[in-house]
Amino acid sequence: MKTSFVTLQQVEEITKTYPTPFHLYDEKGIRENARKLKEAFAWNKGFKEYFAVKATPNPYIINILREEGCGVDCSSLTELMLSESLGIKGEEIMFSSNVTPEEEYKKAYDLGAFINLDDYTHIQFLKETTGIPETIFCRYNPGGVFSLGTDIMDNPGESKYGFTKEQLIKGFRELKELGVKNFGIHSFLASNTVSNEYYPVLAKILFELAVELKEQTGIAVKYINLSGGIGVPYRPEDKENDIKIIGEGVRAVFEEVLVPNGMKDVAIFTELGRFMLAPYGCLVTKAIHEKHIYKEYIGLDACAVDLMRPAMYGAYHHITVLGKENEPCDHKYDVTGSLCENNDKFAIDRMLPKIEKGDYLVIHDTGAHGYAMGYNYNGKLKSAELLLKEDGTVQMIRRAETPKDYFATFDFGDILKDMKY
C-alpha cells in the first residue's frame, strides 16, 4: 500500500492559495534520503553524488541537495547555466552529455566542470574546441545485453552512448599524450532497476575495466562514476531498494577487485536522479469530469503536459484518492487528461474507490522526470511546483505558466498587446 506524504486536509489548505494541478515536493523526505545515500558510501573517502539535474531542474531542489553535500550532473547548456546561477562551479559539476554542441563543451570547460566524453571522436573535437583539461572522464559501453542472473535488464549494444573497450584503451593513451593527468570512467547499463544487485554488478564491471586499463596503458583511474540506474518502486507490490545493502555490495567488490591492484584510493561517484527525488514528489490534481460510455472515465485538471511518462512509456504511477484511502477499490476507471490524444491517460482500467467530481487525487512518484518532461502540446500550460517544507509550510518554487509565457516567443503583430493573463 502506497501512502501519500500529503493529506486531504493539507491539500484543501494549499488550494486556498495555489489551484490544482501542481507538483508538490517533500523537503524532509529529500533530505533524509540524501543522508542515507551519503552514509551508505561513507566507506569511500572520495564519494560524491552528482544529482542528475535533468530529473528535476529546479534551483530550490538543487539547493536542498547541495546543502546535503551533492554536486550536479549536467547534460546541456541551460543546465550548466542553472548551476552557475547557484554558484556551482568546478568539480561540483559533472558534465555528461552526448552529441555535444561546441558551445556546451566551452561552457563546461569555462566553469571548470568534470567533462565526461561520450565518444572517441570527441577527443579531437574537444581538443579543437576548448583544449583538453587535466581531468577527463570517458563513458564505457560494453555492448551486448546486460543481465542480472537470468533477467535481461537492458541492451547496451543498441544504445547510442559510450566508447567500446578498444576505443577506451586507445583514447586513454591519446589523452595521456595530450596532457591529461587525472582519469575517470563512467557507465550506465540499465534504467530504474529495482534490485540491490545492479550497482555492485556494474561496479565490478567498471572496477575490472579500471584494472585492465592500468595494465594496458599504465594509467591508474582516479574516479569511477557509477552514474544512475537505481530505481524506485512505482508499484505498491515492488520492493524498495536498500541503499545501505547497495553501498555494502559496492564496497565488497571494491575490496575484491581494486584494493589488491593498488587502487584503494579510487573515488566513487554517482549520478542519481530518480532515486534521489521520485518518491518525494507527487502531482496533485482534481477530478473535474466523469464520462460513461464503453468504459468509465474520470477526467482530471492535469494532463500529459504535467506528467508524460504514462502516455510516453505506459509507465505505472500509483494513484491515491485523498480522503478515500480506506474505501474499497471497487470501481474500474481510465483516468485521463484533456489533450487531443487518446494516450493522455494516467491510468487504464485502474481499480479505485468511487470518484466524485471535486475529489483530489495524488499521482505518486513524480519527483523525478515528472515536471521536467512536460511540454506545451495543444497550447496547454505547465503547472506550478510547490515545496512542502520541513516546518509544514508550503512555498511556491515555480509559478504556473500563463498564456503570456506561451506567446512570448512569437513576434507576430499585436498578439501580446493588452494580454491580461
Mutual angle of helices 165-177 and 198-217, in 10-degree steps: 50
Please tell me what DSSP assigns to residue 108.
H
Number of H helices, E strands in the chain: 12, 19
In whole angstroms, what is the distance from residue 233 CA to residue 2 CA? 10
φ, ψ for residue 129 (rounded to 5)? -85, -50
Please tell me what DSSP assigns to residue 53.
G
In whole angstroms, what is the distance from residue 44 CA to residue 62 CA? 23
For 129-222, list the strands marked E by DSSP.
Answer: 135-139, 146-148, 151-154, 182-186
In whole angstroms, what is the distance from residue 413 CA to residue 346 CA? 38
- Is 303 in the active site? no
Count of residues in the chain: 421
Residue 308 one-letter amino acid: M
Of 150, 242, 145, 151, nearest in space to 200 by CA: 242
In whole angstroms, what is the distance from residue 48 CA to residue 270 CA? 7
Q: Please, what's the b/e burial string for 48-61 (b: 16 or more CB within 10 A of its CB; e: otherwise)?
A: bbbbbbbbbbbbbb
The dihedral formed by the CA atoms of 204, 117, 95 and 48, expressed in degrees to the nearest 10: 20
The catalytic residue among 70, 74, 138, 340 is 340
In whole angstroms, what is the distance from residue 296 CA to residue 292 CA? 5
Query: How many angstroms separate the first and last alpha carbons of the chain?
Result: 41
Residues involved in catalysis: 340
